[in-house]
């Protein structure tokens, strides 16, 4: 627990530095001292982006593509995301929805998944609401909830059950207050979870999953 600062809000003082970031900082310090370190904390990718990505960014900079975008992101990029999702994943397989199809108007892109998760929490909850979070989870997810003045209710899953919560586990923490159940990859794919639990949710309600 870091020491609270009177100059910082209670919301921020109630949060902790991400454990994975702490591991990265410690690994960097040790490397600077000449130690050979294998960092298993953050899970960074071990390869460079494809050359065409770099070339496209450089070309965009040369063309002066540096203006503010729409709040939901660049339309051309949202169109590409929509097309890729719908062509590669959208539709049904063996009679079941394997991935919903989305139009560009239903897509928002940002520089970070956590930023979008935080924005969705702020826009759909009020202070004091509860959100059920499945463990294991990224360490910063609890802090995202605390920053939004939301009460995290942790449901501890198990490897034996492939990290899917059981009805008994959920019944122990569900009260009248929970506003949401966060089903966040990579542990759980939301639509896959619903299918495996045989929850008969219509397309309208599947779209409301966060």
Q: Is the residue at 63 inside a domain? A: yes
The pLDDT value recorded for residue 29 is: 94
The pLDDT value recorded for residue 96 is: 64
Q: Is the residue at 100 inside a domain? A: yes
CATH number for 78: 3.40.640.10
Reported as a single tens digit per residue, the pLDDT across 163-188 is 788 888 888 888 777 778 887 655 44
Q: Is the residue at 200 inside a domain? A: yes
Q: Is the residue at 119 inside a domain? A: yes
The answer to which of 40-54, 100-114, 130-144 has the lowest mean pLDDT is 40-54
What percent of the chain clears pLDDT 70, i.e. is strictly above it? Answer: 80
The pLDDT value recorded for residue 205 is: 42
Please calculate the CA angle 26-30-35 and round it to the nearest 5 degrees: 150
Q: Is the residue at 2 inside a domain? A: no
Mean pLDDT of 89-100: 63
Q: Is the residue at 139 inside a domain? A: yes
Mean pLDDT of 113-133: 89
Q: DSSP readout, 77-119?
A: HHHHHHHHHHHHT-EEETTEEEE----GGG----S-HHHHHHH
Q: Is the residue at 158 inside a domain? A: yes
Q: What residues make up the domain containing 16?
A: 10-206
Q: Is the residue at 75 inside a domain? A: yes
**Above 70 in pLDDT, residue 191?**
no
Domain count, the chain: 1
Q: Which pLDDT band, with edges at 50, 70 and 90, does 201 fall under?
A: very low
The pLDDT value recorded for residue 35 is: 92
Mean pLDDT of the chain: 79
Q: Which pLDDT band, with edges at 50, 70 and 90, does 90 fall under?
A: low
Q: Which pLDDT band, with edges at 50, 70 and 90, does 34 fall under?
A: very high
The rounded distance, in Å, linking the Cα atoms of 164 and 177 is 22
The answer to whether 12 and 3 have CB atoms below 8 angstroms apart is: no
Please provide the distance, in angstroms rounded to a whole number, between the alpha carbons at the two ends of the chain: 30
Reported as a single tens digit per residue, the pLDDT across 145-162 is 999 999 999 988 887 877
């Amino acid at each position: 627990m870091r020491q609270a600062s009177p100059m910082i809000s209670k919301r921020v003082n109630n949060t902790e530095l991400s454990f994975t970031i702490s591991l990265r900082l410690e690994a960097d310090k040790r490397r600077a001292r000449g130690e050979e370190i294998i960092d298993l904390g953050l899970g960074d990718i071990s390869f460079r982006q494809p050359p065409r990505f770099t070339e496209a960014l450089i070309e965009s900079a040369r063309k002066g593509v540096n203006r503010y975008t729409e709040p939901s992101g660049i339309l051309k990029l949202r169109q590409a995301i929509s097309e890729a999702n719908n062509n590669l994943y959208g539709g049904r397989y063996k009679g079941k929805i394997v991935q919903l199809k989305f139009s560009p108007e239903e897509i928002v892109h940002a520089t970070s998944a956590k930023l979008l998760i935080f924005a969705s929490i702020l826009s759909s909850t009020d202070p004091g609401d509860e959100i059920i979070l499945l463990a294991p989870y990224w360490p910063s997810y609890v802090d995202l909830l605390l920053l939004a003045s939301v009460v995290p209710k942790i449901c501890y899953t198990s490897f034996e059950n492939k990290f899917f919560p059981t009805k008994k586990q959920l019944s122990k923490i569900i009260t009248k207050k929970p506003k949401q159940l966060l089903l966040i990859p990579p542990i759980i794919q939301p639509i896959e979870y619903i299918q495996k639990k045989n929850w008969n949710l219509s397309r309208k309600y599947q779209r409301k999953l966060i």
